[in-house]
Amino acid sequence: MTQKTQQRFLGKTAVITGAGSGIGEATATLFAQEGAKVIACDISQGRLDALSRTLEAYDIKTCAGDVCNGKVIEEIVEMAQERIDVLANIAGIMDRFLSVGEIDDSTWDKVIAVNLTAVMKLTRAALPIMLEAGHGSIVNVSSEAGLRGSVAGAAYTASKWAINGLTKNTAFFYGDKGIRVNAVAPGAVKTSIEAPMESNLSINRIEPLMKALMPPTAEAIEIAQAIAWLSSDEAKNINGVILPSDGGWGAV
C-alpha cells in the first residue's frame, strides 16, 4: 500500500534557506510535497536550478544569493508577496574546528555572519508579515554544538549557542502574537557542508570523543521531518524549544 503524502502546508508559503543541498534541500522538497509554496534560497544558483528541475511539478520559486546580503533578504521578502507562514533558517557554515586560540578574525566573522546575523536579519524582515497575519512559525537550525562545547570549533559553537538564545528570546517576545519560534539541534548529518578538521588540538581532543560517543550519522530527511513537524499545526503548543535530533547523542 502506498502511503499518501500529508498536506500539512497546503496553501501556505514557506521560506527555506540553504535549500540547495543537505537539510535545506530535504526540507524544501518535503514542504513542496506537502502543499506549500516554497521560496528556496541558496548561495548556489546551480544547486537551485537542480532543485527546481526535481520539483518542477510543485510550486517553487528560487532566490540565489548570500543571506548575509540585505538586498538578497529584500528579494526573498518580495518573492513572498506579503505572505510567510513558515521561515526555516537552515543555511550555515563550519569553522574548520578551530579553537579560540587558533581562529582568525575572518573565519570568526564569516561564521557568525552566516550562522547568526543572517538568521536575525531574515527573521526581522519576516516578522512584520507574520504580525500582520497574526500567525507564523520560525524554525532555526541549531546543532549538537549548541548543546555542548566538545563537538566543533569556537566560532561554530558560539554561533549555535547564540541561535538558541535568539530562538528563545524571539519566542518570548512574539509568542503572544501568534508567532512560534523553535530550533532543531541536529547531531551528525549526511550533508554537503564542508567540515575539515584543521586543528591539531581538535584532532587530539574532539576526534576521540566523536569516535567513542557519536551515534550513527542521520539522513537529511530525518532533520527535515523534525523541522516540518515544528512548523506544522501539530506543534501549535510548542514554542521556544530547542529540539535535539541527534540519535541520542545528548543522552551520553
User: pLDDT (tens digit, 0 to 9) for every residue of the chain, 252 residues total?
Assistant: 344 578 999 999 999 999 999 999 999 999 999 999 999 999 999 999 999 999 999 999 999 999 999 999 999 999 999 999 999 999 999 999 999 999 999 999 999 999 999 999 999 999 999 999 999 999 999 999 999 988 899 999 999 999 999 999 999 999 999 999 999 999 989 886 667 877 888 777 788 777 777 778 899 999 999 999 999 999 999 999 999 998 888 877
Q: Are 64 and 43 in contact (CB under 8 A)?
A: yes
Catalytic residue selected from 160, 199, 231, 245: 160
Q: Active site includes 106?
A: no
Catalytic residue selected from 12, 143, 156, 231: 156
Q: Say if pTM beats, i.e. exceeds, 0.85.
A: yes
Domain harbouring 187, CATH code: 3.40.50.720
Q: Active site includes 58?
A: no
Q: Considering Cα of 52, then 71, then 175, then 130, what sign does the dihedral take?
A: negative
- Residue 2 covered by a domain: no
- Residue 4 covered by a domain: no
Q: Into how many domains does the chain fold?
A: 1
- Quote the domain boundaries for residue 133: 13-246
Task: Give CA 250 to chain center in angstroms.
Answer: 19
Catalytic residue selected from 142, 159, 202, 231: 142
**Nearest-angstrom CA–CA distance, 5 and 30:** 9
Residue 33: C-alpha distances to residues 6, 27, 36, 48, 59 (Å): 8, 10, 7, 17, 9
**Nearest-angstrom CA–CA distance, 39 and 18:** 11
**Nearest-angstrom CA–CA distance, 252 and 249:** 6
- Residue 30 covered by a domain: yes
- Residue 252 covered by a domain: no
- Residue 119 covered by a domain: yes
- Residue 62 covered by a domain: yes
- Residue 90 covered by a domain: yes
**Nearest-angstrom CA–CA distance, 67 and 79:** 14
Q: Active site includes 142?
A: yes
